[in-house]
A and B are shown apart, each in its own frame.
Chain A
Amino acid sequence: MKISYLLFIVVIVLGTYLTFTAWAILQGNTDSVCNFWPDADCLEAKFELLTTLQKRQLLSTVHLDYCYLIFYPLLLGIWVYREMQAQASVLGNIFFRFCLLVVVVLFFSDITENILLGYALQDISYPFKTLALVTRLKWISFAFILLSLLIGVMGRKTGLFPLSLRLKNRIE
């Protein structure tokens, strides 16, 4: 299976999740806001509602998450790298090299989120403020990368944005 197909599936799944979350936000479901763009208060309130059994179940999910969160930034990184190598304009090339850095930020924010969530679920500490911050960082970096890839790939395929090297040379 080609990496691009795999990435396509990952992007579709996460894109669907984001769409439903956004829809729920528009419907006034505050839980979705808390999932996507949380603050310390909403996280704390949500956490207090959890039973011991739910905490245990969540903890096993968090452990499972580690495999996933190593896997998907790696795939995303490969995709961004390939896109960078395909960008014929200097600006596009520079931009996607910057996106590689954002992938690293995404990876570290995701892993930090998991560690902090694990602490809270094991009643070791409750750093809700930091947790909210890294969750926001995770989503914003993820959305940034996806949007960049979308624009980059579309631009390259259509040759409209950014201008391809050949087109640019022709105009010049």
Chain B
Amino acid sequence: MNLFSDCPAGDKDCLIKKLTSNRITHYDLNHLMQIATSDDLKSITQSVFDMDEATLLERSAVEGATRWLNSLKNDRRKDLYVKKIQHTPRPELKKVVAEGDSWFNYPLILTDILDWISMDKNTAVFSLASAADWLVNILASREYVNGLSVHQPDFFLMSGGGNDVGGMSRMALMVSHRFNETSELTHSAWAQHLIANAHEKPYLLSKEVSLDTRKPDEKRWNKAVGYLSKDFFALMMLFRLQYYSLIHSLLVGGKEKFPDLKIITQGYDFLVPSDNKGWGINPFKWYIPVLRWIGHGWWLKKPLIFKGLSGQELQLDILYACMYFFNEMMIELEEKFMELHPTAKGRLFHVDSRGLVQKNEWTDEIHPQPHKFRTIAQTYLDCIHGQPSDYKHVYRSINRQKP
């Protein structure tokens, strides 16, 4: 045992146990992140999701009509991809392989992020994304490895984690039924470090009107943080480990295979729990009530009600805290990764979409309306085509919003 660790040296089981109970030290978490093998990740995933791997993969699998519709959209994108790359290579044409969830592939009516990116004539997108896909599934199937090997793209776009939180009413596990005066945050030095990071390293740019733009809204954060359960923090730590493993396998483990590959990760916005049917008189928004027949209300709102958290404002604040934390986790992870592996500098980016989509600009609980997807896509395009970032490796969608 050393001064910074609670576990005997080399005792991975102890580290995993500490992680799943949200009692792991910051040092141990970083240590586990670097030594965890894929079997360890499976073991942590089983503990966090409280089910064996086969059951988890079976339940999270994308099947039936969704799978068919996903493949229809991806097939069309592949045609477009081939059309773009089949002519003489142009230096300005960037090849992109994308893997992820419904923010990258919403198969009906909505024009999602990849649709908008595909419209740029200098960007060829090969999509492996599937609506309703879980990060755990994406990592288990490793479809992206083949995609990257075959296409040798300039960029790999990754959007995953949303369904791991919102699928199978799992949002109910992310919260406790009553406010804890001593929140789970206080037990996690890593989580506290993340929030301190946000306070101490503000987005400092000419475009920023305030030094506070990276800090959480204290009122909302304080109201919600006491409700976040240890499972939430454990899941965030699992995401950190999973993303680290994925990025490491491509930028460090696969440096000979993918010497010039760059990765862009996705951060989502503050999702809005709602079960409103979305009826209105604007004929241009006709699709909202139609799409709200699909899962709307069941991803976030109802699981929170199951836990007795019925107040609309409280629900919004809880999702604010969750998504705030998820983005900070991704930003910090990538910073840490580049600190550990300096060769990754300039090859790892994060799209921070927090605060872009207003309360009335959501198609349903978890998907923005298409014009907001377009702004996010523009953020990706700026990153792909070498525009300067907003903060270190972070591109902020809100700065791409047209007034």
Contact = CB atoms under 8 A, between A and B. Distances in A.
B371 A97 contact: no
Contacts, number: 38
B53 to A, nearest CB: 36
Interface in A47-88: 81-82, 84-88
In the A-B complex, the 6 residue pairs with the smallest Cβ-Cβ separation, listed nearest first, are A88-B119, A101-B286, A90-B371, A98-B284, A93-B111, A85-B115
A100 interface: yes
A94 interface: yes
A164 B137 CA distance: 37
B284 A166 contact: no
Contacts of A151: none
Mostly, the B contact residues are: helix
A98 B286 contact: yes
Given A81-B109, A88-B116, A94-B284, 5 more contacts: A84-B111, A85-B111, A86-B119, A94-B370, A165-B120
Interface in B99-128: 109, 111, 115-116, 119-121
Interface of B: 76, 109, 111, 115-116, 119-121, 283-284, 286-287, 370-371, 374
A81 B370 CA distance: 14
Nearest to B119: A88
Nearest to B121: A166
Nearest to A84: B111
A95 B371 CA distance: 12
Given A90-B371, A90-B374, A97 B109 contact: yes
A101 B283 CA distance: 8
Contact of A165 (B119, B286, B370, B371): B119
28 contacts: A82-B76, A84-B111, A85-B76, A85-B115, A86-B119, A87-B119, A88-B116, A90-B370, A90-B371, A90-B374, A93-B111, A93-B370, A93-B371, A94-B284, A94-B370, A94-B371, A95-B284, A97-B109, A97-B111, A97-B287, A98-B283, A98-B284, A98-B286, A100-B109, A100-B287, A101-B283, A166-B120, A166-B121
